[in-house]
Amino acid sequence: MNWLDLVALLALGQYFLFASLVGRARGKYGVKAPAVTGHEVFERFYRVQMNTLELLVIFIPSLLLAAKYFPANWVAAVGAVYLLGRAVYAYAYVKQPAGRALGFVLSAGPTMCLLLMALVGVLRQA
């Protein structure tokens, strides 16, 4: 099993799920496109998606670049923590934005870690 590709694809799928929940919340809370404000709970779903997007654009390239310099399965394991962290983040944020810290740390942390691993890999080769 190519765990690295699996983690990358699950991260993309997880983000797609968050985006779908925004679409559903649009209907449920009566926020018509192109507006992205107007109901507090809709805005939470929207911020979960946006914040995940903001992290995902770092996560995917860092994951793939880190795997050029470190064993793919170690890299995939760090990526798996991100997947868990984002799930915790989304659940907590929608319930109550103030409770989003743990999930944030558990997903931004692994992302930072992958970026640093890749940087260390590049610099060690110099």
Give the footprint of its own copies on this chain (CB under 8 A): 1-2, 5-6, 8-9, 12-13, 15-16, 19, 32-36, 40, 43-44, 46-47, 49, 53-54, 56-58, 60-62, 65, 68, 93, 97, 100, 111-112, 115, 118-119, 122-123, 125-126
CA distance linking residue 36 with residue 22, whole number of Å = 10
State the minimum distance, in angstroms, from the CB of residue 84 to its own copies. Answer: 19
- CA nearest to 47, candidates 21, 27, 28: 21
**DSSP secondary structure string for all residues of 31-95:** --TT---S-HHHHHHHHHHHHHHHHHHHHHHHHHHHTTTS-HHHHHHHHHHHHHHHHHHHHHHHH
